């Protein structure tokens, strides 16, 4: 727990940066992607006469993350939240720094969006016995859950399950396949 604290206070700062930058990307997208669309919008605002300015700043405020639903945020492909899988070492549930950062981002997101819940699905590679691997997958899901709870997610928002080695993401008996199968998958549900 102590370890989570020190690391998460550091990466909380990081999270702010990430969130801000992700908003910025969203704002920029319609402008760059479709100039005609933007023109249309400008015309509408001008006709209304309520917003005189045509500066990007005014426009950006209108499209702030308040108007982006949790669903839309989750659909973005270029944010930390787009990482829905964290990986583990053999016979271990210890989180790497990278996994920790990903889970903290999800924890913050869930904490800030009460209508969102998620399921952590723990998995193991095929080696060893099957029920032991169920317990190992569970341990991985639990250590991931702890991070989310620490970031402020509520207990009701997080469900865990372990599939052990029963649902491999990669087939084959190679180190690569095993590494790809030792994982926790984050599955969202938006109410």
Interface with other proteins (CB under 8 A):
91, 126-132, 134-136, 138-139, 160-164, 166-167, 171-173
Q: How far apart are CA 152 and CA 155, in angstroms?
A: 9
Distance of closest approach, residue 86 Cβ to other proteins, in angstroms: 20
Cβ atoms of 93 and 133 within 8 Å: the answer is: no
Residue 186 to residues 79, 107, 110, 141, 160: CA-CA distances in angstroms? 15, 11, 12, 9, 10
The single residue listed with the structure tokens 């370890």 is 3
Between 152 and 172, whose beta carbon lies closer to other proteins?
A: 172
Residue 123: CB minimum distance to other proteins, A: 11
| Cβ 166 to other proteins shortest distance, Å | 4
User: Looking at beta carbons only, is 25 or 129 nearer to other proteins?
Assistant: 129
**Residue 65 Cα distances to 96, 139, 154, angstroms:** 30, 35, 22
Closest to other proteins by CB, 18 or 147: 147
Shortest distance, position 144 Cβ to other proteins, whole Å: 14
């Amino acid at each position: 727990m102590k370890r989570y604290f020190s690391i998460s206070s550091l990466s909380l700062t990081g999270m702010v940066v990430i969130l801000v930058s992700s908003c910025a990307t969203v704002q920029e997208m319609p402008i760059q992607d479709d100039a005609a669309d933007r023109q249309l919008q400008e015309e509408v605002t001008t006709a209304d006469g309520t917003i005189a300015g045509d500066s990007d700043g005014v426009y950006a405020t209108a499209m702030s993350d308040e108007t982006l639903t949790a669903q839309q945020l989750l659909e973005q492909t270029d944010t930390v939240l787009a990482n829905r899988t964290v990986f583990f070492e053999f016979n271990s549930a210890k989180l790497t720094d990278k996994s920790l950062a990903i889970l903290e981002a999800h924890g913050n997101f869930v904490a800030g969006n009460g209508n969102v819940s998620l399921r952590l699905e723990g998995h193991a590679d095929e080696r060893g016995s099957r029920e032991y691997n169920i317990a190992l997958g569970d341990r991985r899901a639990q250590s991931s859950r702890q991070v989310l709870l620490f970031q402020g997610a509520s207990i009701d928002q997080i469900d865990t399950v372990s599939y052990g080695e029963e649902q491999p993401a990669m087939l084959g008996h190679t180190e690569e396949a095993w590494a790809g199968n030792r994982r926790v998958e984050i599955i969202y549900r938006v109410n």
